Structure 1
Amino acid sequence: MRATRNSGLLALGGIALAALLAVMGHVGVNEDLDPWALTVSDFAVSDRGGVIDVAMVVLAAATAVLLPALRLAHRPPAARPGRAAEVLLAAWIGGLLLAAVVPTNEPGLPMDTAAYVHRYASVVAFLALPVAGWLLARRLPDAAARRVRGLAMASVALAAAMIWSAYPGDRLLLGLVERLLILTEVAVLVVVAVTLLRRVTPARAA
């Protein structure tokens, strides 16, 4: 179906643009910021309204493009494994947008209300996507399903490592772990988008 393939192509383009913007946002920031220890949000708040914030919005938009395509690609509705995956993808989108609009605090400063909103919006996004990916795997061809499930499990493991680092781990390599988590979760979206783009093997009914 042409609309589904086009949606996959648009999503991949949006993901690539978001990745490029995120890299640009890391290159032109204060040299004192340590990417191994500081999160992407720490970099973003130092360049408020800059390319990292734009990258988050673009990534949310790229995900949004996938939602109608997933509905079109898996008719009839009775064959779909419920709407939980779509709701979780919407939570990922909402979490990204809220985190982009509401900044965290500057590194080293006490957290204020905005910083807490940013933190929990990010937590919702990070947790929603791997679960959505696991559910979406039931709609995908076997090879793609295995990749998505593997990435979803890796995301959960990295999310647990990030929680450990943020609290008992005294932020040990927090920035590195978060970036690995982001890469893994974006890879879930890439696999789904590529599958929609190809549409070689019909998806299985749950």
Structure 2
Amino acid sequence: MKGLLVSGFTAIGTGTGAMLTLHAEAGLDPMHSVISEYAFHAGGWLLPASLTLFAIGSALIAEAVRRAGMSRWAVALLLGWGASMFMIGAFPTDRPGVPLSLSGGIHRYAAFAAFLMMPLVGLLLARAEIRYAKAMRILSGLALGALLLVVIPYVVRMAGIPLADDDIPAGLTQRVVVVTELGVLALAGLSLLKPSARRSQVSAVLA
């Protein structure tokens, strides 16, 4: 169990480092530039690398959650989040101003699926009242609120109202979602390092 968690944290930490390096090198405005745009810069390869590491970390923590006897739904959603992260990196979005392509469509809907799944993981695990349950609820709530702010501009555009990312803090809301969801993932792993996350305490609530 400990080996799984340490490996998972290492993957997540390395992926976070790669993401921060990409942000520092690209020099885009994080308030308005969405993360996907970083793929078009010289160090753009760091984006899929980072997302792949997040996917690996999620899979390792999912296995630890499974071994702890927690909800199979939580395990499935963690694996789904990791698969979505991988697809986001494998299928890049379209450049600004270009019509939506198949790759761009897969990228968009994989991102929405991922953004929706991790808060559900946090709420499921928090129901068991494991360690950090309160923090998980707060982060999951923040992630869902920020996700709503991410989705609204797309709904507005579908209604025929032109709205550019420069007109709204699109980059900020997206980053809030990513940071809070990584926080939920990290807390899920950390909770299993403590005795309070033993099978006997969680299986009756979530199995």
Structure 1 and Structure 2 fold alike (TM over 0.5)? yes
Contact persistence 1:162–1:177 (CA under 8 A): yes
- Out of 142, 151, 158, the residue aligned to residue 154 of structure 1 is 142
CA deviation vs aligned residue, 1:179-205 (integer Å, no higher than 9, x gap): 011000000011111112233553333
**Mapping of residues 1-206 of structure 1, within 5 Å:** 4-29=1-26, 31=27, 33-47=28-42, 50-74=45-69, 80-81=70-71, 83-141=72-130, 143-168=131-156, 170=163, 171=165, 172-200=168-196, 202=198, 203-204=201-202, 205-206=204-205
Contact persistence 1:15–1:59 (CA under 8 A): yes
Two-structure CA RMSD over aligned residues (Å): 2.0
TM-score by length of 1: 0.86
- What amino acid sits opposite 2:88 in the alignment? A
- The whole-number CA distance in structure 2 between the counterparts of 1:69 and 1:14 is 14
Return the offset for 1:60. 0.5
Larger RCO of the pair (alpha carbons < 8 Å, separation 6+): 1
- Check 1:167–1:37 CA distance in 2 against 1; reply closer, same or farther (3 A cut): farther
- Check 1:199–1:12 CA distance in 2 against 1; reply closer, same or farther (3 A cut): farther
Return the offset for 1:45. 3.5
- What amino acid sits opposite 2:96 in the alignment? P
Contact persistence 1:38–1:174 (CA under 8 A): yes
Contact persistence 1:134–1:152 (CA under 8 A): yes
